[in-house]
Structure 1
Amino acid sequence: MHALNHLLYGNIDFLKNEEYRAFQFRFLCILLLAGAGVTVLLLAGVASGVNHIDAIHVVSMTCFTLISLVIWLVLRGQPQRFVAMAWIYECLCLLEFVSALYFVSEDEMRVIWFFTNIPGIYILLGQRAGMLITIGTIVGLAVGNAFLPQPYSTNAIATLLSALMYLGAFFHVYGARSVSYFIRMRESNRQLRHIASHDPLTDLLNAGAYYATCDQLIHLASRHQQPFAVLFVDLDHFKKINDTFGHEAGDIVLKTVAKQLQESVRQSDAVGRIGGEEFSVFLPDTDLSGAAKLAENMRSGIEALMPQIGQQRIKVTASIGVASGERSETNIAAIQRRADQAMYDAKQQGRNRVSCFTQAA
């Protein structure tokens, strides 16, 4: 199945919140190949004498098939080209349908291609494009019918135009509701994923999500042969804050510190709350020296916070352990233990300081 997907769509990678965009891209790829395939079958029927089609339209069908395959090749593996390729294909289809309408006059059902076009344009390019193409088709058939070699009767053209208006209105409403439902579902799923992966008090990654993220980042670091480091941050005398000022004050301190930690790191770093007053920071592409420097900035930043509790401000400090990763590591467990050990060394040395793990420690 993976090989078939790669053959049809190329090497593509959509984000989790791009499900509908991925569906549109794959739908267009299949539509291009299906349209070319159906046209080839019709051409085979002409060649075998099963059905008769005007020579001019045979040329049009051949060009349609070849151009469809070229569009597919240009689009394959390049989702950023989707909108342009969808519009080009739509224009190509309209030209092909008009050619069939004029040159295959003995086929009364040839107008059906305009009907099959309406749902596709709503799916691929949305409501505005769908409405534009629907109105253009209705006007084009109403005006152009008189110029056909064998025009449709007044009753027939009235029925065709009414059916097109109904189909356009149906897909306009249905498309609007479907997209709206999809957006709401996507947002709900995003919120659920956020709730499941983040600590409700500090909005940092919770322990499970943090460790899972770290394992992924370690895998990437190993693949690209890049260094990485972990900081273990533990607030000093946090129980005393709770006992003296109450748990609400403790929550204020935790949220204030969490915000400080988040603002101190890069977007590529991961920050998690892994215990009551314990935090951990994963630093990709960072050696021990760089991690220690960042840890010192964090320590001084936490010390300078002085969060206000009631009518007074209290001093908060943290002991931070630093450990660098090893190439042989495949998960967070070992380096986290080393950072934890370094943090305890900082505690033993008087707290409110940074300690780096060494083998001698």
Structure 2
Amino acid sequence: MRAHPSRLLFGSTPFGEGQEYLSFQYRFLIVVLIAGALATTVFLLGESTRLNRIDSPHVVSMAAFTVASLLLWGVLRGRPAAVRPVAWLYLGLCQLEYLSALVHVPQDEMRALWFLTNVPGVYLLLGRRTGAVVTALTVVGLAWINPRLSVPYSPNALATLLVGIVYQAIFFHVYSARSISYLQQVHGLNRQLHDLADRDPLTGLLNARAYYAGCEQALAAAACEGRSSTVLFVDLDHFKRINDTRGHAAGDEVLRRVAGCLREQVRHSDWIGRIGGEEFSLLLPRTSTEEALPLAERLRVSLEALQIEIDGQPIPVTASIGVATARPGEHTMASLQQQADEAMYQAKARGRNRVSMLEVKPGTGARVEREAQGTVFTALTPHG
């Protein structure tokens, strides 16, 4: 199967969300490197066929520039993190190449235009501050070296050249500033759209779709490392009674407070989502049962300790929590959530406001109870 031309040029480098400008810089620099090598190759062919005579010192310079450009392409291809160092190296090569043409090819009246073409690339690849500095150094350098050339430019030609460089620098200074600002705004809007699509608007937690999608990936990653993962299924007790007696506004406030409490208790690597009206699920990647049960108990105690008042009247909150642990390669997120769901219903059946764990006891079918941190964890055999 023949590779796509763009893949030959740029490699198969993936760019994540928010890396749009880096992707542009990476591709732009590769195109510039190859275009620069091709341009000097054309001049070398012209010299070899005597169509475009060039003094030998600059022929050596062009040959070295061509090889160096292709080597830099090889360094950059597949390595977007190398954009800035490669861009700096290429800037230095270009300045030396243009200076060589200025000194060694006096018969070419247009050779100083190469300094003009350098300005856009510097602004786009290295930023406005570097672009302004390079522009200033170029203008000062050309003004200083011109009277020392074997065939200097006339004052009018030099003035036109320098003003043209400054004008182009101002243009790209404004253009690059507006382009980056536009990309940042687009990225921010995209993030807002993603948040609207992935987040529950009431609690700010992941909605069921986004939660389960992320959990599948986290489970797979933990399984590849040979690590267990645990799900905590949190269901608020008697939540319908709150809505019926205190109103839906009170119920919404309870849900927001519960979501904040859960968020404060978990790690940044854990996944938490609102998957139903008063149902919350937490995936703890790379977490064993022994590590998850104390956290589940802390969550239960923290929820029970919430002090929620509506119109001066307290609203008590408790939760039943089901726990299920996936050994590497044993569960999908759907089956793990189902087991945690069953354990949660067992917690409700045993009086609510408790933590229950579902555990298979091969060959016995017995229920084993063990006490830890003030609650009874019930090890249950799945039904059926």
Normalised by the length of structure 1, the TM-score is 0.92
Residue in 2 aligned with 1:194?
Answer: 195
Between Structure 1 and Structure 2, the one with more helix by share is 1
User: More displaced, 26-35 or 231-240?
Assistant: 26-35
In the aligned structure 1, how far is the partner of 2:221 from the partner of 2:40? 46
Supply the distance in 1 between the matched residues of 2:72 and 2:101 (Cα, whole angstroms).
21
What residue number does 2:186 align with? Answer: 185
Partner of 2:33: 32
Letter in 2 for 1:299: R
Query: How many Å apart are 1:6 and its aligned residue?
Result: 6.3
- Match of 1:246? 247
Q: Which residue of 1 aligns with 2:347?
A: 346
Unaligned runs of 5+ in 2: 361-380
1:234 is matched with which residue?
Answer: 235
Cα 1:290/1:132, change in 2 over 3 Å: same
- Stretches of structure 1 lacking an aligned partner (at least 5 in a row): none
Change (3 A) 1:186 1:153: same
Amino acid at match of 1:351: R
Q: How many residues are aligned here?
A: 361
**2: distance between equivalents of 1:158 and 1:34?**
29
Show the counterpart of 1:15.
16
Deviation at 1:5, TM superposition (A): 6.1
User: Can you list the C-alpha shifts for 1:268-289, whole angstroms capped at 9, x where unaligned?
Assistant: 1110001111001111111222
Alignment of 1:38-117 (within 5 A): 38-117=39-118
Q: How does 1:151-190 map to 2 (within 5 A)?
A: 151-190=152-191
Preserved CA contact (<8 Å) 1:215 1:330: no
How far apart, in 2, do the equivalents of 1:224 and 1:26 lie?
A: 35
CA distance in 1, matches of 2:143, 2:3: 47
Distance (Å, rounded) in 1 between the aligned partners of 2:350 and 2:164 = 83
Whole-angstrom distance in 2 between the partners of 1:17 and 1:166: 31
Q: After TM superposition, which residue ranges in structure 1, 4 or more long, deviate above 4 angstroms?
A: 1-13, 326-331
Contact 2:300–2:318 under 8 Å retained in 1: yes
Residue deviations 1:60-91 (CA, integer Å, cap 9, x gap) = 12222233334334444444443233222212
**CA distances 1:107-142 after superposition (whole Å, capped 9, x unpaired):** 122122112111111110111111222222222222
Higher relative contact order (CA 8 A, sep 6+): 1
Alpha-carbon deviation of 1:22?
2.3
Normalization by structure 2: what TM-score?
Answer: 0.87
Contact 1:269 1:283 in 2 (8 A): yes
State the one-letter code of the partner of 1:233.
V
Mapping of 1:193-212 within 5 angstroms? 193-212=194-213
Identical-pair percentage: 52
One-letter identity of the residue aligned with 2:113 = I
In 1, Cα distance between the equivalents of 2:107 and 2:271? 68
Q: Which stretch of structure 1 is more off in the superposition, 51-60 or 78-87?
A: 78-87
RMSD across aligned C-alpha pairs, in angstroms?
A: 2.2
Structure 1 residue 176: deviation in Å? 1.3
